[in-house]
Amino acid sequence: MAKKKSKFLSGKRIDPTPIDKNTALADLVDESFMAYNAARIREACQLFTRKMLEPDVTIGVTLTGALTPAGLGISALVPLIKAGFIDWIISTGANLYHDTHFGIGLALHQGDAKLDDRVLREEEVVRIFDIFFDYSVLLDTDDFFRRVIEADEFQKTMSSAEFHYLCGKYVLERSKKLGIQDKSLLATCYEYGVPVYTSSPGDSSIGMNIAAKELQGSKLVLNPNLDVNETASIVLAAKRGTISHTESGKSAVFILGGGSPKNFALQTEPQIQEVLGIDEKGHDYFLQVTDARPDTGGLSGATPSEAVSWGKIDPDQLPGTVVAYVDSTVALPIITAYALARHEPRQPKRLYDRRNEFMDLLKTEYDKSTRR
């Protein structure tokens, strides 16, 4: 009698198509990324493209690590935004600061990480591993931000989304004067109405320059309370179908790295459920690219299943989660190219323009809560 085939052998048979000179990247991912971390990248590409890019899903992206100085703002993030594949962002301030170099025409170069840093210091060359740039790049970018935030529209308390939106306007204006197109994440987010938050406003050269201007009487203050509530309101609006104009919708998080931006994106659900007492179940899709281990207890390596215990991830949606243990500089270009090849552009949601509407929804539901 023939042995009954185990249900655990239902996966696709490993029999890849041989690679040749005509193999397209998306086909390479689908046919050759069969196992180990290659398989996780394949699953990441397919989750993002087949589920997260559905019309009723709102996608938040978090950025840690030095991604923009490596050119990934230009090569990947800007194309994703222009295709309508990113709806809102939480980033380290450093990524936004270094992004600005490109938008105002400053140069970064490939370098050799093995060089003596004492020699580089003498040459006034700054190094981010194997990325080199002249010290004047920092000074010129600092000067740009200090001049920008002297404008009257900055002389108030605001969320980091409003601050970055206004900065993006000025970066775009400078880019146009220089004849530069599609080189800045901030400028593109301004054009497409993508709100950009930072979880630690003081933890970057942008925040340092804001602090310096306060010594000269600037009234600019970035209020983290506004960021906490605005990001929670975006997620609530996504889940209630307000964003997609449907009976209900979904929320997805695409985490590049981990750190504070990861937590800031995921804490939106505990803010809604635990703190505000609003009925919710968690994010629907969780995609993370990281090199952090879970067993050290750090947030960067925390798994989707652990996030379920906090209410951050909908327990019914665990099959809609992927963690790829690989460098973001490797995975992001692959995921970007795959998505652009396999999915038609989406209509940009322009969430920045609807922030007041989303906050009204959050306040209305909080008014009904017994947690007040």
What residues act catalytically? 312
Strand partners of residue 321:
286
Quick one: 233 exposed, middle or buried, by C-beta within 10 A (0-12, 13-18, 19+)? buried
Rg (CA), the chain: 22
Q: How far apart are CA 225 and CA 239, in angstroms?
A: 21
Instruction: List the alpha helices (DSSP H) in 22-159.
Output: 25-32, 36-47, 72, 78-82, 93-103, 117-122, 135-148
Q: For 12-44, give one letter per residue: b (16+ CB within 10 A) or e.
A: eeeeeeeeeeeeeebebbbbebeeeebebbbbb
Q: How far apart are CA 296 and CA 365, in angstroms?
A: 37
Distance from CA of residue 182 to its chain's centroid? 18
Q: For 102-115, give one letter per residue: b (16+ CB within 10 A) or e.
A: bbbebebeebeeee
Half-sphere exposure of 151 (CA within 13 A, CB side): 12
Which H or E run contains 235?
helix 224-239
3-class DSSP state of 288: strand
Distances (CA, A) of 147 to 71, 97, 111: 25, 15, 31
Neighbouring residues of 53: CB distance < 8 A, sequence distance ≥ 6: 59, 85, 339, 343, 346
Taking each helix axis as running N to C, give the angle between helix 160-178 and helix 93-103, from 0 to 180 degrees, rounded to the nearest 10.
20
Q: How far apart are CA 86 and CA 83, in angstroms?
A: 8
